[in-house]
Amino acid sequence: MSLATVTLQATQSDAFEAIQNDALLSSSLWANIALAGLSALLFVYMGRDVEDTRSKLIFAATLMIPLVSISSYLGLVSGLTTGFIEMPAGHALAGEEVMSQWGRYLTWALSTPMILLALGLLADVDTADLFTVIVADVGMCVTGLAAALVTSSVAVRWGFYVISCAFFVVVLYALVAEWPDDAADAGTDEIFGTLRLLTIVLWLGYPVIWALGVEGLAVVQSVGLTSWGYSALDIGAKYVFAFLLLRWVAANEDTVARRGAGTGAEGSPAPADD
């Protein structure tokens, strides 16, 4: 067996075992796999009687949130997207080996666009706006990944953190200042307001955990606790979010059906639309 195979597989198996031997850490991952699985089944059940095309589309898009989440946590738990990194000089844990759950950032790059897509469809924002916000969101996740993986300089770690937050500000700006007007025009401002608040409050938690947890200032030095912090936010920002959205869509098919001009959702606007 080649040297490369030995070393690359060693990381994966090491991480797999380290996670299995840490009940706190392990539970933070399996809890999400279980909840995401139950959410997916629940959402299929909730959507069984939905007739309207646009509502079915929102169901399909939202169903992917738990599917991506299961994939993300399976990757973490198997050690495929987990690794050990040695923190650079200047870090509170400098020279120590710290478990990095870098796969979280990678899969957020796929799951958070779905959340923004669901919000954007609900508020009926235009396609170019939605695309811009999604690119900013992907930029936020990718630079978060970079912040987690840099081991040569603590200054560069925080440099990436600041850039990631700058992308986040673009996303927040759209959610706070732009999309509410669109939602009001679309007549979906009540549910949009609830989901927007949930998203803003919970998403603000991620950079706080990064800053306080093992990857940042290491005020909290437990990998398991840091992991539960992210996992708890994921539960709210993903499954609770998706449940509230789909419950509303199922109960308001008519409102959803009546809209549909924006987001390029229908090429030919219905006459009643103007």
Among 117, 191, 202, 246, binds a second copy (CB under 8 A): 117
Binding mask 42-81 for a second copy (x = CB under 8 A): -----------x--xx--xx-xx--xx-xx--xx-xxxx-
- Least Å distance between CB 243 and a second copy? 18
227 in contact with a second copy (CB under 8 A): no
- Least Å distance between CB 235 and a second copy? 19
112 in contact with a second copy (CB under 8 A): no
- Least Å distance between CB 30 and a second copy? 12
DSSP letters along 140-167, please? HHHHHHHHHH--S-HHHHHHHHHHHHHH
> Which stretch, 12-20, 24-32, 219-227, 250-258, contacts a second copy (CB under 8 A)?
12-20
Helical H segments across the chain, by residue range: 3-20, 23-46, 53-77, 103-123, 127-149, 154-173, 179-186, 189-212, 223-234, 241-251, 253-258
138 in contact with a second copy (CB under 8 A): yes
Among 22, 26, 27, 159, binds a second copy (CB under 8 A): 159
Alpha-carbon distance of 219 to 93, in angstroms, equals 10
CA 102 to each of CA 84, 85, 124, 127, 132: distance values in angstroms, whole numbers, following the listed order: 10, 10, 33, 30, 25
97 in contact with a second copy (CB under 8 A): yes
